[in-house]
Amino acid sequence: MKLKWAMLTLVFAWTASHAAIGADAAGMKSGFALSGIVSSAEEGPMEGVLVSAKRANSNITITVASDEKGRYQFPASRLEPGSYSLRIRAVGFDADDPGAISIGEKSATADLKLHKAKDLAAQLTNAEWMLSMNATEAEKGSLLNCVQCHTLERILRSKHTPEEFAKVLDRMGSYANQSFPFHVQKRKADRLLEERGEYREKARQKQAEFLAHVNLSANQTWPYLLQTLRRPMGRSTHMIVTEYDLPRKTVEPHDVILDAQGNAWYSNFGEQAVGMLDPKSGKVTEFNVPILKPGFPTGELGMQADPAGNFWFGMMFQAGVAKFDPKTHEFQTWSAPGEFNRDMTQINMAAPQSSNVDGKVWTQNNGFAVIHRIDLASGKIETFQPFKDTKEGENHNIYDVIPDSHNNAYFTDFANEHIGRIDAKTGEIKLWVIPTKGAAPRRGQIDGQDRVWFGEYKGNKIGMFDPKREKFTEWTAPTAYSAP
């Protein structure tokens, strides 16, 4: 699931350093700046509680997890001296606020007392809501069309009747993909009016009824028990998470790439500016992306580096791709060609990873389920239409386009269960069917053997396609409703 908050998160495994640091807990720099025991009356010492520390006036938050004895420890190298506030995450529990913690020369301690949460519903993840509700898998699956923009809590706390929900669903459908409650952007092309057939009308009515059945329209509380997933255990607790607040709540970091200097570059799903974060200082620098279609929703989605280290962005409803040179800070853009540049045109991905092979960059066009290829020398743009001859009522939607080492393009058909390939030399298009029905293949990557790896959003699996053997392998995510 993509990040919807103005925050970047980097995770480091620390299995090895954990033991090494533990052996030398007394000395400051090599020991722990802050440690303590997390416990509750219900469980005694608690494993897998996330403890987060944030220094006053800093935009960096460090998180560690408690071990099987309930002990949490922040390495001294991660917390510089200063005044820190602490918060915890352990679903079902709140903590008494220990107040400001002063970290100085000596190692500090703070034991944390937890008690049953006052408002469990406010702590549930989307997966936990889906686990809890009494609904069919198809009904639960339909909620995966809501979680891109906000949490399910917002929906399940509502009191809407089916009639009211039908209107809410219309409003949701009028929002551009990058909308979220802090920054609403309207679609130019009204997808609803365009697509509203009898079948869709019925589906909308059914969904409205289902939603009014699982929210608070009929009862003071939910007509099902709220269930929680277990906390991290054992090796899963050996980690340090570093989070960076970005300059505004409306920044929606979508893709993130590290450059050779270790800076984290990100596309901004909702705003016309990409950013660079220096993970050492937490400082963020932003660069304005040109506007191609004034009045259309702003923001970029996919971000990839070309072999020369330039970054490329899919410009969504601005209907083009942008190349950014991190040395000169200059942008160059290409717009979707003539008949394919209309109100519903939506370019999510730019795929320059193998452009050194033949000087060409791939991109998809979601409004039309087509793929474009830009010849960088001439600026000429070709269009490939894998689903040109599909039958009435069949729905296709090209989500990602992924070049292999010869710059052949693989693509994922999100509305279905296809992986496709366009041969770079001949233009021949081939389709393969993923074994899991309705898998909804989403983002993909190529490995060193030119095999395609992809998330199966609705199949809850990771898939791999080996072109040499024309064979799929799939792995189910260990947690239900992970929606890779």
Nearer to ligand HEC, 78 or 150 (CB): 150
Nearer to ligand HEC, 89 or 249 (CB): 249
Give the per-residue contact string, 204-243, with ligand HEC (x = CB under 6 A; - = no): -------x--------------------------------
d(CA 82, CA 34): 12
d(CA 313, CA 376): 15
Is 184 a binder of ligand HEC (CB under 6 A)? Answer: yes
Among residues 2, 69, 115, 171, the one that binds ligand HEC under rule CB under 6 A: 171
Stretch that binds ligand HEC, among 17-25, 128-136, 178-186, 348-356 (CB under 6 A): 178-186
d(CA 210, CA 230): 28
Tokens 């990839």 -> residue = 304
d(CA 236, CA 232): 5
Nearer to ligand HEC, 35 or 298 (CB): 298
Nearer to ligand HEC, 54 or 187 (CB): 187
Is 342 a binder of ligand HEC (CB under 6 A)? Answer: no
| Residue 311 CB coordination number (10 Å) | 26
d(CA 216, CA 195): 30
Give me the least distance between CB of 460 and ligand HEC, in Å please: 18
Is 180 a binder of ligand HEC (CB under 6 A)? Answer: yes
Q: How many chain residues bind ligand HEC (CB under 6 A)?
A: 19
Is 186 a binder of ligand HEC (CB under 6 A)? Answer: no
- Nearest Cα neighbor of 373 from 350, 345, 348, 344 is 350
Contacts with 175 (C-beta within 8 Å, 6 or more apart), sequence order: 149, 184, 185, 186, 187
Sign of the four-CA dihedral 25, 27, 31, 36: positive
d(CA 120, CA 91): 7
Burial of 70 (C-beta count, 10 Å sphere; 0-12/13-18/19+): buried
Nearer to ligand HEC, 184 or 229 (CB): 184
Is 150 a binder of ligand HEC (CB under 6 A)? Answer: yes
Residue type, 62: I
d(CA 293, CA 374): 19
Is 116 a binder of ligand HEC (CB under 6 A)? Answer: no
| Residue 120 CB coordination number (10 Å) | 16
Is 181 a binder of ligand HEC (CB under 6 A)? Answer: yes
Is 172 a binder of ligand HEC (CB under 6 A)? Answer: yes
Among residues 145, 236, 285, 449, the one that binds ligand HEC under rule CB under 6 A: 145
Is 135 a binder of ligand HEC (CB under 6 A)? Answer: no
Stretch that binds ligand HEC, among 146-154, 242-250, 348-356, 450-458 (CB under 6 A): 146-154
Nearer to ligand HEC, 177 or 436 (CB): 177
d(CA 280, CA 79): 12
Q: For residue 355, what are the CA distances in angstroms to 255, 362, 464?
A: 20, 9, 23
Residue type, 298: T
Among residues 8, 53, 155, 424, the one that binds ligand HEC under rule CB under 6 A: 155
Among residues 58, 158, 397, 482, the one that binds ligand HEC under rule CB under 6 A: 158
Nearer to ligand HEC, 187 or 443 (CB): 187
Judge contact between 409 and 362, C-beta under 8 A: yes
Among residues 3, 168, 216, 229, the one that binds ligand HEC under rule CB under 6 A: 168
Give me the least distance between CB of 166 and ligand HEC, in Å please: 11
Binding residues vs ligand HEC (CB under 6 A): 145-146, 148-150, 154-155, 158, 168-169, 171-172, 175, 177, 179-181, 184, 211
